[in-house]
Amino acid sequence: MSVETKIHFYKDAEDKGIYNVYNGDCDGRDTFWCSLSEWDGLMKLQMVNNEVLYFNGNDEEMFVFEEGEEEYNWIKNYINPKLKIKNGVNKKDKILNMLMMDNKWCWNYAYKKKIKKSKQITYDEQKELIKKLKEKIKELNKGNKRKLKTENNKLKKENEKIKEANIELAKGYRDEQKKVKKLRTEWAELKEENEILKEKHSISS
């Protein structure tokens, strides 16, 4: 059984997806079976919330419409290649949407999404593209190397400045240490002189 067309289904505001539509005879009545995935002709019925639903072998809900039903006529007219939709747009340009709201089906048309076909390129064109890409990568690498070299030179200069500053700090620290040592010596001498003066004062009194 071949796919006759494709229809976009919505049920209770849920996008069910684009279904494959199969056509055939069921108990003497022309019927459309709508399945989300490829259908093998087998179908099972299941009671869900007091409603009989149809499911395919992948447990995906199916929709079935028989001759005499209004929904059947919508699909039949959509498949008919002679059908002209408003403004002269035919089924090649639009897709049929079927929507169930409050247990009632309604329909509308939407423009099909056009998929842009990728351009086929020859082997020689591929080689040329690869060559250009390699050249571009090479140029980028050169630019990156120059940039890294410049940044590295800047870092070296900064490092030299830091080293010089550290040398100056170390020299200043040593000078300060000498000053502190000198002050300690002078302080010791003053203490010694003070002790001598105290002794002299005690003797004279």
Instruction: Pick the closest to residue 75 from 13, 112, 67 (CA basis).
Output: 67
Residue type, 139: E
Q: In the chain, how many domains are there?
A: 1
pLDDT tens for each residue of 70-94: 999 999 988 886 655 454 445 567 8
Residue 16 lies in a domain: yes
Instruction: Pick the closest to residue 155 from 168, 170, 141, 163 (CA basis).
Output: 163
The number of CA neighbours under 13 Å toward the Cβ of 179 is 6
Instruction: Pick the closest to residue 56 from 67, 64, 66 (CA basis).
Output: 64
Residue 44 lies in a domain: yes
pLDDT tens for each residue of 159-194: 888 888 888 888 888 888 888 898 988 898 888 888
Instruction: Pick the closest to residue 72 from 29, 114, 103 (CA basis).
Output: 29
Residue 55 lies in a domain: yes
Residue 93 lies in a domain: yes
Q: For residue 54, with 0-12 CB atoms within 10 Å meaning exposed, 13-18 middle and 19 or more buried, which class applies?
A: middle
**In the predicted model, is pLDDT for residue 114 greater than 70?**
no
User: Does the reported pTM lie above 0.75?
Assistant: no
Residue 182 lies in a domain: no
Domain that holds residue 86: 3-111
Residue 84 lies in a domain: yes
Residue 28 lies in a domain: yes
Residue 17 lies in a domain: yes
Consecutive H or E run containing 3: strand 3-11
